[in-house]
Amino acid sequence: MDLSLTKEEAAFQREVRDWLRRNIPRRERKAEPAEFGDPKRIIELKNWQKKLYEAGYLAMGWPKQYGGRAEPYGDRRDLLMRQTIVNEEMVKARAPSIIGMMGVQMVGPTLIEFGTEEQKKRFLPTILDGGEIWCQGYSEPGAGSDLASLKTRAELVGDFFVVNGQKVWTSNAQFADWMFCLVRTDPGAPKHKGISYVLIDMQTPGITVRPLVQMTGDKGFNEVFFEDVKVPRQNLVGELNAGWRVANTTLSHERNMLGSTTRTQQMFQGLLHVAHTTKRNGKPASTDPVLRQRLAELAIRVESMKYHSYRQLTDLLRGRSPGIGASVNKLVSTELNHAICALAIDILGDYGVLDRKSRHVVDRGIWPYEFMFTLGLIIGGGTSQIQKNIISERGLGMPKGA
Ligand SMILES: Cc1cc2nc3c(=O)[nH]c(=O)nc-3n(C[C@H](O)[C@H](O)[C@H](O)COP(=O)(O)OP(=O)(O)OC[C@H]3O[C@@H](n4cnc5c(N)ncnc54)[C@H](O)[C@@H]3O)c2cc1C
Whole-number Å distance between alpha carbons of 164 and 151? 9
Q: Which residues pair with 197 in a beta bridge?
A: 182, 237
Whole-number Å distance between alpha carbons of 203 and 387? 34
Whole-number Å distance between alpha carbons of 23 and 25? 6
What three-state secondary structure class fits 224?
strand
Ligand 1 binding pocket mutation candidate from 218, 383, 398 (most atoms within 8 A of CB):
383
Whole-number Å distance between alpha carbons of 87 and 78? 14
Q: Which residues pair with 154 in a beta bridge?
A: 163
* 184 Cα to the center of ligand 1, angstroms: 19
Tell me which H or E stretch contains 163. Answer: strand 160-171
HSE of 381, CA atoms in CB hemisphere, 13 A? 28
Would you state the pLDDT for residue 12? 95
Q: Tell me the one-letter amino acid at 246.
A: V
CA-nearest residue for atom 41, ligand 1, is 386
> In sequence order, what DSSP letters do the residues of 32-100 get, joined into one string?
----TTSHHHHHHHHHHHHHHHHTT-SSTTS-GGGT--HHHH-SHHHHHHHHHHHHHHHHHTTPPP-TT
Q: Is residue 386 in contact with ligand 1, taking CB distance under 6 Å?
A: yes
Q: Is residue 373 in contact with ligand 1, taking CB distance under 6 Å?
A: no
Would you state the pLDDT for residue 256? 72
Q: Which residues pair with 284 in a beta bridge?
A: 279
| Omega cis (within 30) before 72 | yes
CA-nearest residue for atom 50, ligand 1, is 380
Helix residue ranges per DSSP H, 115-212: 117-128
Asked if residue 353 lies in contact with residue 368, where contact means CB atoms within 8 angstroms, the answer is yes
Answer yes or no: pTM beyond 0.85. Answer: yes
Whole-number Å distance between alpha carbons of 377 and 338? 9
Tell me which H or E stretch contains 137. Answer: strand 134-137
Averages of pLDDT over runs of 10 residues in the chain (402 residues) are 83 96 76 61 91 93 82 66 88 87 94 96 96 97 96 97 98 95 97 97 98 88 97 98 95 77 86 95 95 97 90 77 82 96 96 88 89 94 94 92 68
**What are the C-alpha distances in Å from 181 to residues 149, 168, 309, 325, 378?**
14, 12, 29, 25, 22
Would you state the pLDDT for residue 72? 47
**Which residues have C-beta within 8 Å of that of residue 299, sequence separation ≥ 6?**
268
* 348 Cα to the center of ligand 1, angstroms: 31
Which residues are known to be catalytic?
254
Which of left, alpha, beta for 67 (phi over 0: left; psi -120 to 50: alpha)?
left
Atom number in ligand 1 closest to CA 145: 29
